[in-house]
Homo-oligomer: A and B are copies of this chain.
């Protein structure tokens, strides 16, 4: 037996839930050779249309150095490319054809998992969850919704 202990610490419970949710999405992504974190990046790059590392960092609220490293993995896998921008400092990100194709295919599996989890949350659960997660962030002080 020895059931898992239900910690009362918000961080601990969030980390646990995140690990588990990640694992579920990751397993669905396996056949595409990517992780859910990587799919998220691919989609954001596509949406932003040739963003710089910093722009991607602002959109995702990830550290730029983290993204630099994450992007190297995607680059090595041939899913993204890094081209010089106007500014001689900046490098501009975009998806390769392969990256584009994989993103499309992975999106189908993402849909499945997302729907499953959404129904687990019950009616209104999805919106409530996101509202509560946002409430934890002091940066989201003023404007809700």
Q: Is the CB of B9 within 8 A of A59?
A: no
Shortest Cβ gap from A62 to chain B (Å): 8
Q: Is the CB of B125 within 8 A of A2?
A: no
Partner of A11, one of B8, B10, B18, B129: B18
Q: Is the CB of B128 within 8 A of A20?
A: no
Number of interface residues of A (CB under 8 A): 55
Partner of A114, one of B9, B114, B118: B9
Q: Is the CB of A133 within 8 A of B14?
A: yes
Partner of A60, one of B5, B22, B128: B5
Copy count, this protein chain: 2
Q: Is the CB of B118 within 8 A of A135?
A: no
Partner of A10, one of B19, B58, B114, B135: B114
| A137 to B17 alpha-carbon distance, docked (Å) | 7
Q: Kindly specify which of A36-44, A67-75, A80-88, A92-100 makes contact with the partner chain.
A: A36-44
Chain B residues lying within 8 Å of A125, measured Cβ to Cβ, are: 132, 135
Interface residue ranges, A against B (CB under 8 Å):
2-22, 24-25, 36-37, 40, 43-44, 47, 55, 58-62, 110, 114, 117-118, 120-122, 125-126, 128-130, 132-139
Nearest 5 pairs of A and B residues by beta carbon? A17-B133, A14-B18, A18-B18, A5-B59, A129-B132
